[in-house]
Amino acid sequence: MMSFMSTTALYNDQGGGAETAVEAGQESTATAGAGAAFGLFSADFKKNEDLKEMLESNKESLKLEAMKRVVGLIAKGKNASELFPAVVKNVASKNIELKKLVYVYLVRYAEEQQDLALLSISTFQRALKDPNQLIRASALRVLSSIRVPIIVPIMMLAIKEAAADLSPYVRKTSAHAIQKLYRYLRATVHSHF
């Protein structure tokens, strides 16, 4: 977005030649690309210690930035499982964007860190009672995506309650959750036989 705006501004300021616009667009794209890469994936912030400090900070903006970096590491295929305890502490955040990023992380690593994942279940149960339908649906979506056998009864109860929710969006999410639970149980049964 920024490169388009700067290209347009340069184009308009310089009288609008086609060659000028192309040159300016290439220059601003390179600058924006380098800045974005440096800001999001710089070597200083890849260190887990820095990310842990940011996640344990009292400032929501630092926590949000840290979670963006952690999810970025996951997207690049890097292992971020060492950060699980610091990330789980943020599952009860009031910031919806931060909460969504924590949910993404939990779905990815809950199966590997089952004991720590159980610490977040009570937060999901509270979120299922939230007045906001989007939060209820999001909590159910994540809860049904966590592959930890011990929470299956909790998942079943949550799906049952969500199926009778007043919100059609939450009911739709519960229908998808039934499908996920069925696939999970079917895979579990087949792996034992």
For residue range 164-181, list pLDDT tens digits in order: 999 999 999 999 999 999
Q: Quick one: which of 64, 77, 2 has its CA closest to 33?
A: 2
pLDDT per residue over 3-48, tens digit each? 433 333 333 333 443 333 333 333 333 434 444 444 555 554 457 8
Question: Which residue ranges form the domains of the chain, and what is each CATH number?
Answer: 1-40 (no CATH), 42-119 (no CATH), 120-193 (1.25.10.10)
**CA–CA separation, 17 and 6 (whole Å):** 15
pTM: 0.68
pLDDT at 168: 97
pLDDT at 192: 67
pLDDT per residue over 52-77, tens digit each? 999 999 999 999 999 999 999 999 99
Q: What share of the chain is helix, strand, coil (3-state, %, to 5)?
A: 75, 0, 25
Q: Which residue blocks in 42-167 are alpha helix, DSSP H?
A: 43-46, 48-55, 60-75, 84-88, 96-109, 114-118, 121-127, 133-143, 152-163
